[in-house]
Amino acid sequence: MSQPEQATSAHPPWKAARRILLLIAHPDDEVVGCCAAIGRARAAGAKVFGLVLTTGVPARDVLWPWDRHRHGQHVARRRDECRAVAALLGLSGMAFLDLPARGLRGALLDVRKQVLETIAWLRVETVWAPAYEGGHTDHDSASMLAASLPEGPGKADVTVYEYAEYNFLGGTVRSQTFPATLGPECILELSAEEAQLKRQALARYSSAQGDLVYVGVGREAFRPIAAYDYSRPPHEGKLFYQRFQWVFFRHPRVDFTQPAEVCRDLLRFRSSLAAPAQ
* Apex 260 CA angle, 262 and 51, nearest 5: 10
Show the CA angle centred on residue 18, arms to residues 99 and 51, nearest 5°: 5
In a domain, 201, yes or no: yes
pLDDT at 81: 97
Q: For 42-92, how does the pLDDT look when each residue is reduced to its tens digit (9 = 90+)?
A: 999 999 999 999 999 999 999 999 999 999 999 999 999 999 999 999 999
Looking at the domain assignment, is residue 86 inside a domain? yes
Gap between the Cα atoms of 73 and 107, Å rounded = 23
Residue 228 lies in a domain: yes
Residue 199 lies in a domain: yes
| Cα angle: 14, vertex 20, 26; to 5 degrees | 115
Question: Do the domain assignments include residue 107?
Answer: yes
Q: Residue type for 118, please?
A: T
Q: Does residue 275 belong to any structural domain of this protein?
A: no
Query: Cα separation of 4 and 225, whole Å?
Result: 24
Give the closest residue to 33 by CA, choosing from 216, 173, 251, 192. 216
Q: What is the pLDDT of residues 218-237, one digit of tens each?
A: 999 999 999 999 999 999 99
Report the pLDDT value the prediction gives residue 184, as an integer from 0 to 100: 92
pTM: 0.93
Q: Which domain holds residue 207?
A: 7-269
Cα separation, 2 vs 69, whole angstroms: 48
Distance CA 92, CA 196 (A): 21
Total count of domains within the chain: 1
Nearest by Cα to 206 from 60, 84, 81: 81
CATH number, domain of 214, equals 3.40.50.10320
**Considering the domain boundaries, does residue 274 fall inside one?**
no
Segment-wise mean pLDDT, segments of 10 residues, the chain, 278 residues: 46 90 97 97 97 97 95 97 97 96 97 97 97 98 97 91 97 95 93 97 91 90 96 97 92 93 97 74
Give CA 47 to chain center in angstroms: 18
At residue 1, the pLDDT reads 35
- Does residue 235 form part of some domain? yes
Eight-state DSSP code of residue 155: -
